[in-house]
Amino acid sequence: MIDSISASLIITKREVRDILSDWRVIIPTLILAVIFPTIIVLGIRWGTPFMAHIDPTAAVGKAALFGAMMSAFFPTSFSLVIALESFVGEKERNTIETLFATPLSNAQLFIGKFLAVMTLPVLLSNIALSIYLFGMWWLLGTTVPASFVLLTVLLTLSEVLIMVAGAVIVSSQTATIKAANLLASFIIIPMALAVQGQVLIILTGYGYILWFMLAGFLGIAAILIRMGITVFDREAILTRENDDLNIFSIGRKLSQLWRGTPNSAFDETKVTPARPYYIRLFLLDIPQILSMQKIPILVTFGMLVASSLIGVVFAITHPIPMGEINASAVFRTGESTAMGMQLDAGSIFLHNVRNIIIAAVLSIFTFGLAALIVVVATFGLVGFLVGEAAIAGVDPGSFVFAFLLPHGALEVPAIVLATALSLSIGMSILSPPSGVGFGENLLFSLVNWVKGAALFVPLFLVASIVEAKVTPQVILWIFGQM
Amino acid sequence: MIEAHNLAKRFGPITAVSDVTLEVKEGSILALLGPNGAGKTTTVRMLCSLLKPTSGTATICGYDTVKDAGKVRGLVGLLTEMPGLYGRLNAVDYLEFFSKLQRISKQSFTAHSRQLLEYFGLWEYRNRAISTYSKGMRQKLSLARALIHSPKVLVLDEPTSAMDPYSAKTVRDYIKDMKKDGRAIILCTHNLPEAEELADRIAFIQHGQIRAIGTSEELKGRFLGPPSFVAMFAKPIEKSVVYHTSMVQIEEWSPYQVIYSTSEPEVANPAYISHLVSSGAELVKVAEAPRRLEDIYLKVTGSND
């Protein structure tokens, strides 16, 4: 392990030295790290009298926190410039092949580059923060709370981790610096939004939320670093000639994956059985897909159960005030069934399928989280309703049996399967099988999703008919007489 | 030391290399010749564990290039076709960086780097930034980098390109020394006289396949036929005298010159020359007609285009 890291550090050392000898990097860096915090301190000093008119008690305090965060963040912004050219820059300068011809593993190369790009921005960020804190104390006699300084340091570190990991991945997946710079907007825009969010949180006075944000950022950073190590492929970097999106090649691959069985997708030696496609789809492809989705299905099911329980607990801890809504009457009379009767099967079906498709598309950009959010939100609400029903004196078992079971028996398996397949789409770029590119694995997961739809879409269809026609009758049968 | 069996590499629908089988023994040099895009670089990259073959296997000193990739990369010294250098470093720092990656001790590095830099005439420029070096100096430094860890196998792509004749000779001499020292060497080059001078065996590669492989003489015999000789005369000679023979095949005749070929020059030449002299020919000179590697190259690669 130590030996492995020491090899990475050899690369890090050379890279840092190279960065420090480039005046095009050093001059803007110094401006950001030294001059910028000084300007912020002076700005706060001169702006305080004006802000005091608006919020005399909190103006300086909030400005001090805001200034600390900005001072620490700005020097890190140039880390993208260095990170984006970490691999693709070496490729353009023809130095990458000699580096790849050394005994270092892919992970060692990635980590070496990653640490090199991280080092300087983090160092400068802390220098800038120190200058700012000193300036605030010296010129304004204001000190920023130690806990907030720690939070700022950690938040900035997590942001650098995300930006650098993302940029190094982009650099290892593009053929030219120009293409890498274009793709950088996928990193810059979300980070800019995140920083704006932080500022809003500070200004609204809910600083504790930033700790949750930090946890989220660290999680994303961990995912991106893992992804970077997984998708780093020296062969692909060496042989990538251009960044053209080859629609025909993608089409060919999709066609091959569609025609083949999932088990033979990446193994050219396995022969796809010649049967009528629709028979094979149900006899071979879907069972194979289900077998591959064991873990995503378990995760989805676990989230479903957990969110339902959280919903119940939330209902108990935050009950609907009985004075405002006669919940008991709502549950006991057929009032609620009228809502169900107003919905036709087609609307329910389209609503469900639309949500599943949107979740699948968003999963590509959120590592599958979007799909899980749909499950968590839906079943959290279900749990909440069950809890409220129980509080209103309705037997939870009867409630579930009447309101959920008739269509849920079909809809819940469909949701679990669709979510598991969407989760796989999101995770496909993180851990492609050995020798398989993440683009290829993404196509594979998309094809599996479409094949799986042959099972879950009919389930949704039947469930929606049951929900529109059968469930209201069951509700009336059980609750109508009460 | 270097063995490849049915190596193939496909990039999507494109087959870059197919069915390449070759062997380079300890203390020998194989020249890999072929036009641009023939598959030389892909073959070499597979042998250096930079690319995984689509099919087939290769070993370097008994280590599989896929399973033992890290080990293989430590055993091979690779000089790439376009060796980029870290321009802000000086020569010593550059070599030290790669020696550390190759796990060479500081002591070995100090001695070996000095020896290499001195041999290639770079010692006095060792503290200058590489960005100030000429093309030839960069090429020599790249070669020194490929040799810094004393690799058992050398893969050299155009080792003397951009070099002046003196530097090129220095490098060729070093390669010969490496061969004597027991290294297995693959030489990719478009410099055919250099390939002929250095290589024990020559392989012609085109469209990703090895079209011909053998020693220079074997290839000449196979592609250019038996050796030809030119006999020149001081006075005109009768055609009947020239053609009065079954020992050699006459290819061309003129009153002052005859070009003939024979597959057994040791036997046929003395007998035929005696015949000419005894028939009154005033012989000025007899010499073997030059048979150039270039002719084989054009024959092998040109006929298949």
CA A34 – CA A18 distance, rounded (Å): 21
pLDDT band at A239 (very low <50, low <70, confident <90, very high): confident
B76-79, strands of its sheet edge to edge: B76-79, B153-157, B184-188, B28-33, B201-206, B209-214
B265/B130 same-domain check = no
Question: Which of A417, A453, A424 is closest to A258 using CA atoms?
Answer: A453
Nearest CA in chain B to A23: B88
B102 φ, ψ to 5°?
A: -90, 10
Residue type, A359: A
Q: What ipTM describes this predicted complex?
A: 0.84
Facing residue for A235 by CB, picked from B52, B78, B86: B52
- Residue B296: its H or E element: helix B293-302
Facing residue for A238 by CB, picked from B12, B50, B71: B50
B12 within a domain of the structure (yes/no): yes
* Residue A391 CA: distances (Å) to CA of A306, A316, A482: 20, 7, 17
Last residue of a domain, one of B164, B198, B221: B221
Last residue of a domain, one of B221, B241, B265: B221
* Residue A167 CA: distances (Å) to CA of A79, A173, B111: 9, 10, 40
Q: Count the helices and strands in chain A (H runs, E runs).
A: 25, 0
B57/B189 same-domain check = yes
- The residue with tokens 């700022």 is A152
Q: Is the pLDDT of residue A270 over 70?
A: no
CA A453 – CA A456 distance, rounded (Å): 5
Using one digit for the tens of pLDDT, what is the confidence trace for B231-256?
898 888 888 888 877 888 888 888 89
CATH number at residue B244: 3.30.70.1560
Q: Is the pLDDT of residue B273 over 60?
A: yes
CATH number at residue B188: 3.40.50.300
Using one digit for the tens of pLDDT, what is the confidence trace for A56-94?
555 567 788 888 888 998 888 778 888 888 888 888 888
Query: What is the average pLDDT value for chain A, to the nearest integer?
Result: 83
Contact A98, B155 (CB under 8 A): no
Residue B124 belongs to what domain range?
2-221
Percent of chain A with pLDDT over 70: 87
- Give me the pLDDT at residue B304, please: 43
- Give me the pLDDT at residue A350, please: 93
Tokens encoding A67: 């200034």
- The residue with tokens 């005859």 is B258
* Range ranked top by mean pLDDT from A278-292, B144-158, B257-271: B144-158
Domains in chain B: how many in total?
2
B236/B88 same-domain check = no
Cα atoms in the Cβ-side hemisphere of radius 13 Å centred on B163: 23
Spans of all domains in chain A: 2-239, 280-479
Q: Is the pLDDT of residue A325 over 60?
A: no
B148/B265 same-domain check = no
Partner-chain contact A90 B84, CB within 8 Å: yes
Using one digit for the tens of pLDDT, what is the confidence trace for B1-39?
899 999 999 887 788 899 899 999 999 999 999 888 888
Chain B stretch 185-224, residues whose beta carbon is closer than 8 A to a beta carbon of chain A: none
CA A18 – CA A237 distance, rounded (Å): 22
B162/B254 same-domain check = no
B253 within a domain of the structure (yes/no): yes
CA B48 – CA B60 distance, rounded (Å): 8
B294 within a domain of the structure (yes/no): no
B109/B158 same-domain check = yes
Q: What is the CA radius of gyration of chain B?
A: 24
A434 shares contact with chain B (CB less than 8 Å): no
Give how far B180 is from chain A: nearest CA, Å: 25
b/e per residue, A303-313, with b = 16+ CB within 10 A?
bbeebbebbbe
Partner-chain contact B84 A18, CB within 8 Å: no
CA A42 – CA A300 distance, rounded (Å): 52
Partner-chain contact B51 A238, CB within 8 Å: yes
Least confident residue range of A125-139, A142-156, A323-337, A453-467: A323-337
pLDDT band at A322 (very low <50, low <70, confident <90, very high): low
Higher-confidence residue: A32 or B106? Answer: B106
Using one digit for the tens of pLDDT, what is the confidence trace for A338-367?
454 566 889 999 999 999 999 998 888 777
Backbone dihedral region for residue A69 (phi beyond 0: left; psi -120 to 50: alpha; all else: beta): alpha
B239/B263 same-domain check = yes
CA A333 – CA B256 distance, rounded (Å): 125
b/e per residue, B265-296, with b = 16+ CB within 10 A?
beebbeebeebbeeeebeeeeeeeeebebeeb
- Give me the pLDDT at residue B200, please: 92
